[in-house]
Structure 1
């Protein structure tokens, strides 16, 4: 198989949720043609807790996709952008930035999910 699971990053903005709806619909069609459904994880990104738009969108995502959404989020973090500009990985640039910490938590979650799936 080309992939065992999908990670779907979604900006915490209204239009991104609309795009996600279409992607999930397409994924449902693909899964109907497979012997085993391809699991997916929705990852909220560019979350800014200072804005009502981000807060509201995160709430909508969690309500609409309770089984597949990662309960964390990747925050807006200028250090990620700065790392790219410097030609470094975010971990090399600032391993203690909020974004790097969030990505590490996501990786830990995905690895744990994968371990559970292999046991089952």
Structure 2
């Protein structure tokens, strides 16, 4: 199923938490995409989206810097912050963009959507 989805996609969006171990998982994911790209005879247009970023936590800042160093061509320059409004909206079983349209996280996703729409 994943192979079919990748074969049909125009862009691969890879969310990655800005935590210590997450970039290691991202390395494996990118390696898998490279192998699949060879198998399918194509290069995937990939955008890496840093998520759950908390600027108060040194580990998050370090992980973001490492992502920028390792994947500077593929990483989205913005980031999705930790936002309790996402949890609150989930508990209400409603999209955060409807319940909290002015939330920081919703605003960040709108910025990402604008970047994706412009490509």
TM-based fold match above 0.5? yes
Give the alignment of 1:1-120 within 5 angstroms: 1-113=7-119
Report the equivalent of 1:116: none
- 1:10-50 deviations in Å (ceiling 9; x for gaps): 00011111100000011111111223211110000000000
Over 3 Å off, 4+ runs: none
TM-score (norm 2): 0.91
TM-score (norm 1): 0.91
Alpha-carbon offset, residue 111 of structure 1: 1.2
Distance 2:91 2:99 in 1: 10
Aligned positions, number: 113
RMSD over aligned Cα, in angstroms? 0.9
Unaligned 5+ segments in structure 2 are 1-6
